Amino acid sequence: MIAGKIFYRGEFVEAGIEVENGRIKKIGKLVESKRVKGVILPAGIDVHVHLRDFAEKRKETIETGTLSALHGGICLVVDQPNTKPPVDNTKTYFQRMEKAEKSAYVDYSLNLALTNSNHEKLGEIIRKISKKYFIPAVGEVFIQHDSEDLQINYETLQKVYGRFEGVVFTVHAEDPAYVAKGTPNFVFRRREAEVLAVEKLVEIGNFHFCHISTRDSAKEIINSNSTFEVTPHHMLLSVDDYGRLGKLINVNPPLREKEDVEWLFRNFHRIDILASDHAPHTLEDKEMGASGFPGVETMYPLFINLALKGYISFKSLVEKIASNPARIFGFKGYGEIEVGNFANFAVFDFKNVTEIRAEDLHSKCGWTPFEGFEAIFPEKVYLRGREVLENGVKAGNVLKHSVNIM
């Protein structure tokens, strides 16, 4: 199918890839295939996106969000359920998955919300949904949230966690005692909120922690049996960007001081997953203090450039953006380039370093916190062996189906 310099089992090798029925059949130097310009890496998995839609479709939709993912070299997204209305019941879950089947440009998967309204009947809801769809996780579970129904206390989470062996729970770890509203939101005691929540939660059980942003909480998780993700903005931006970003600055958890940012970036090899926490808001919403950054399209390109410059290794990047997400969340057939896996590839030309411009991106929100940053966007993207993006031009609504791993 394709040949060239492939990232295979931790290193770049010259080889061809033979594909059959959307999966990799053979990898080797003797496999005759069409040679591509650039290097072939596994397409990424973004396990943390908020694609809005429903009542917030003016900010983003499944269609525009997955189009952004495609242009960022992502083959699979995991959407979060704190939508309006939240995805905390069978009817709403099916409704959203059916919407994705009609409009998604990449594989789409959806977490189930844990709310104060549904926690007593969570098992029944999971059983009904699982007959048709694969649920990657319950979460992100909010220890702190503006909605009383979405804010889950430690006791409730402990009780629910104990009932579901084998279910992945993803947690937004901020203790409500230290969270206050305001702009910019990093001036409040939000650092303590994360550290305290993580300390309490690792005593309760093994969770996957969303968007960890401080070195203290990261160290706590590393010394436990839990896993965690870190976003590009918590490794590349800090409170010092306030002068540049102004009212765009708010994000949950907030940007941190440089000491935390630099520690997380230096320890990139120790994190489990790189995830965007793509949370788009319109510029008008940001002016009013809304928290969240878009990022699904820029995540992989930013870190390809950083790997090319030697700040991180390609081996580590592939682990964080492909291998580990597939392993931790149980996405069979995804991850690294390997025989038996889906033929999901992103081809990058290392000579094509560009500056990120919001006007070139595909999110409906129309802005980015990484304006002017250097990145390398994919030249081609293949999903299940089919070329769906070439020179930045998509080949229509390419998959129109949702992830359904039984």
What are the tens digits of pLDDT across the range 279-336? 999 999 999 999 999 999 999 999 999 999 999 999 999 999 999 999 999 999 999 9
The per-residue pLDDT for range 51-100, each reduced to its tens digit, is 999 999 999 999 999 999 999 999 999 999 999 999 999 999 999 999 99
The per-residue pLDDT for range 265-277, each reduced to its tens digit, is 999 999 999 999 9
Burial code (b: 16+ CB inside 10 Å, e: under 16) for 178-211 equals bbeeebbbbeeebbbbbbbbbeebbebeebbbbb
Containing structural domain, residue 70: 43-337
Torsion sign over Cα 210, 369, 265, 255: negative
Annotation marks residue 277 as catalytic: yes
Whole-number pLDDT of residue 203 = 97
Indicate whether 10 belongs to any domain: no
CA dihedral angle for residue 333, residue 335, residue 340, residue 345, rounded to 10 degrees? 110
| Among 53, 277, 285, 349, the one annotated catalytic | 277
Whole-number pLDDT of residue 403 = 56
What 8-state DSSP symbol labels residue 45? E
Distances from the Cα of 86 to the Cαs of 55, 109, 190, 286, 321, in angstroms? Answer: 10, 15, 25, 22, 27
| Cα distance between residue 187 and residue 178, in whole Å | 11
| Cα distance between residue 217 and residue 198, in whole Å | 6
Indicate whether 332 belongs to any domain: yes
Q: Which two tokens stand for residue 256?
A: 């941190």
For residue 124, the tally of other CB atoms under 10 A from its CB is: 11
| Cα distance between residue 135 and residue 150, in whole Å | 19
Indicate whether 365 belongs to any domain: no
The mean pLDDT of 218-241, rounded to a whole number, is 98
| Cα distance between residue 206 and residue 161, in whole Å | 9
Q: Would you place residue 406 in the very low, low, confident or very high pLDDT band (cuts 50, 70, 90)?
A: very low
Whole-number pLDDT of residue 185 = 83
Indicate whether 149 belongs to any domain: yes
Are 333 and 341 in contact, with CB atoms under 8 Å apart? yes
| Cα distance between residue 52 and residue 279, in whole Å | 8
Please tell me the total count of domains within the chain.
Answer: 1
Q: Across-strand partners of 3? A: 16, 35
For residue 85, the domain's CATH number is 3.20.20.140
Whole-number pLDDT of residue 181 = 80
Share of the chain above pLDDT 90, in %: 91
Whole-number pLDDT of residue 301 = 98
Are 114 and 135 in contact, with CB atoms under 8 Å apart? no
Indicate whether 370 belongs to any domain: no
For residue 147, the tally of other CB atoms under 10 A from its CB is: 12
Indicate whether 139 belongs to any domain: yes
Q: Is the pLDDT of residue 224 over 70?
A: yes
Q: Is the pLDDT of residue 180 over 70?
A: yes
Q: Would you place residue 201 in the very low, low, confident or very high pLDDT band (cuts 50, 70, 90)?
A: very high
* Cβ-based neighbours of 304, under 8 Å, separated by 6 or more: 41, 73, 317, 348, 375, 376
H helices present in 298-344, as ranges: 299-308, 314-318, 324-329
Q: Is the pLDDT of residue 399 over 80?
A: no
The per-residue pLDDT for range 350-359, each reduced to its tens digit, is 999 999 999 9
Main-chain phi, psi angles of 25, to 5 degrees: -95, -40
What is the residue-averaged pLDDT of the chain? 95
Indicate whether 406 belongs to any domain: no
| HSE of 204, CA atoms in CB hemisphere, 13 A | 22
Are 68 and 392 in contact, with CB atoms under 8 Å apart? no
Cis peptide bond N-terminal to 140, omega within 30: yes
The per-residue pLDDT for range 115-171, each reduced to its tens digit, is 999 999 999 999 999 999 999 999 999 999 999 999 999 999 999 999 998 999 999
Indicate whether 241 belongs to any domain: yes
pTM value is: 0.97
